[in-house]
Amino acid sequence: MKEEENSEIEFLKELSPLLFEKGIGMDAEAPDGYFEEFGEKIKAKIHQEEAQESRPEIRISKYINVRNLAIAGSVALILALVPFFRSNNVPGTQTSELVINPETEIAELNEYIDESDLYTVFENEEISDYTVSANLTDDEIINYLVREDYSEQLLLEMR
């Protein structure tokens, strides 16, 4: 260990003669009486912080009855939920589902129906029956159209 210390001293001497001299200290000094008073100051600070941390709990238990607080909270919650329940039970109230009036014009419908809605419709239907094979005969196609109740005019065009 002593060898290590000597090598460090030599290292410093070689690298920085100025620092090696060790005459260089730092001017920084504490004000007079600082260290004599610091001990008491820090203990007072610690006790003050501890007192502040424990104070809010004492205040709450002294002035507020927890049981009454729970009852008041429940009542407030029920009152807040009443408008929500009321609006869902009144007849004729609009629901979140779209009700399409047969008299609604096509143009208006376009505002409500998104292209993605159409895809959703196709996804939900069983498409296996609608799969069109390249090798279907005319009769097979016609039978499909009849099943789907397509117009006679279209059927005539197929023949």
Check: CB of residue 12 under 8 Å from CB of residue 19: yes
- Count CB-CB contacts under 10 A for residue 150: 13
Which among 15-23, 70-78, 123-131, 136-144 is the span making contact with other proteins, rule CB under 8 A?
A: 15-23
Output 25 or 91, the one with its CB closest to other proteins: 25
Which among 21-29, 78-86, 119-127, 129-137 is the span making contact with other proteins, rule CB under 8 A?
A: 21-29
Q: Shortest Cβ distance from residue 50 to other proteins (Å)?
A: 9
Binding residue for other proteins, selected from 16, 74, 104, 143, defined by CB under 8 A: 16
Q: Does 39 bind other proteins (CB under 8 A)?
A: yes
How many residues of this chain bind other proteins (CB under 8 A)? 24
Binding residue for other proteins, selected from 6, 9, 10, 42, defined by CB under 8 A: 42
Rounded Cα–Cα distance for residues 142 and 158 (Å): 7
Binding residue for other proteins, selected from 2, 3, 25, 102, defined by CB under 8 A: 25
Which among 7-15, 57-65, 101-109, 140-148 is the span making contact with other proteins, rule CB under 8 A?
A: 7-15
HSE on the CB side for 126, CA within 13 Å? 2
DSSP sequence for 8-70: HHHHHHHH-HHHHT--------PPTTHHHHHHHHHHHHHHHHHHHHHHHHHHHHHH--HHHHH
Rounded Cα–Cα distance for residues 89 and 49 (Å): 55
Which among 39-47, 68-76, 121-129, 138-146 is the span making contact with other proteins, rule CB under 8 A?
A: 39-47
